[in-house]
Amino acid sequence: MKKTINVIKCGRGRPPKNKNLVSNPAVKEFKNNQNKTFVNFLFSSQIIFLKKQHPHNLNNFIVGVLDSIERNTCNALMAVGIQKQEILLVEQNSDIALSHMNDGFQTYHGDLKSLATSTASNWSQRVCLGWYFDMFGTISTQKDGIFSVIYNLNLTDGSILAFTFCRRGMTAQNYKNQKATFINQLSEHLKLKGFELNSLLFEHNYSGKYMFDKSRGSPMDSFVYAIKLTQN
């Protein structure tokens, strides 16, 4: 029997949190969000472009994704030609993870930090075309998990690393400083693996669902980098 999933709408008209769902945070909804669609489209375009020009084994790629119940990022990837079996979903919420699994997606049920010590789907052996760390959280709460995954990734020349963070509860300047530190630390982690940040492909700052509408919601920041092998 299919389980009913409690969905919390994001943006305007969000209902109050259901206090009964404390041990299992409610599923957030990102449906019809123009900003998310835009970033997912840009990320997916970069990934398919890289796959098309990659000289190696086409069957053993992986793209890392964090998706909620609608699987917007997976849908965008598959719309441009990435195969379901090339996607790895990581999900800490058990309802969402179950829904991904029921629909046949390779899913690691747990958080990014625990993925780092797992061999699920042979993820760290497969060539990683890219990863979209679409977090909905802040840099400070998520960076350790992100770096422990990146440390174990089998990256390739041109891999795409994308991020979305929320700067809730922070001034714009504080966020800017935190982001600069994050990017420095990211560069250090990549250096250990023989890579460096190549180019910032795009940045998109937004709040709310609509592209040109400033809502009162928490400002979100998405940024996407291509990496390259360091030349010795």
Ligand X SMILES: C[S@@+](CC[C@H](N)C(=O)[O-])C[C@H]1O[C@@H](n2cnc3c(N)ncnc32)[C@H](O)[C@@H]1O
The single residue among 5, 49, 85, 137 that binds ligand X, judged by CB under 6 A, is 137
Count of residues in the chain: 232
Based on CB atoms, which residue is closest to ligand X, 42 or 155?
42
- Rounded Cα–Cα distance for residues 75 and 132 (Å): 13
**Shortest Å, Cβ 219 to ligand X:** 14
Using CB under 6 A as the binding rule, the residues of this chain from 55 to 84 that contact ligand X are: 66-68, 70, 72-73
Nearest to 47 by CA among 77, 11, 85: 77
The single residue among 43, 91, 182, 206 that binds ligand X, judged by CB under 6 A, is 91
111 binds ligand X (CB under 6 A): yes
The single residue among 134, 139, 226, 227 that binds ligand X, judged by CB under 6 A, is 134
92 binds ligand X (CB under 6 A): yes
Pairing of strands 61-65, 127-134: parallel
Q: Categorise residue 61: left if φ over 0, alpha if ψ from -120 to 50, beta otherwise.
A: beta
CB atoms within 10 A of CB 102: 11
- Rounded Cα–Cα distance for residues 149 and 218 (Å): 26
**Shortest Å, Cβ 184 to ligand X:** 21
Based on CB atoms, which residue is closest to ligand X, 146 or 226?
146
46 binds ligand X (CB under 6 A): no
Using CB under 6 A as the binding rule, the residues of this chain from 5 to 44 that contact ligand X are: 30, 36, 40
The single residue among 44, 46, 142, 159 that binds ligand X, judged by CB under 6 A, is 142
95 binds ligand X (CB under 6 A): no
Query: Where along the sequence are the contacts to ligand X (CB under 6 A)?
Result: 30, 36, 40, 66-68, 70, 72-73, 90-93, 96, 111-112, 134-137, 142, 145
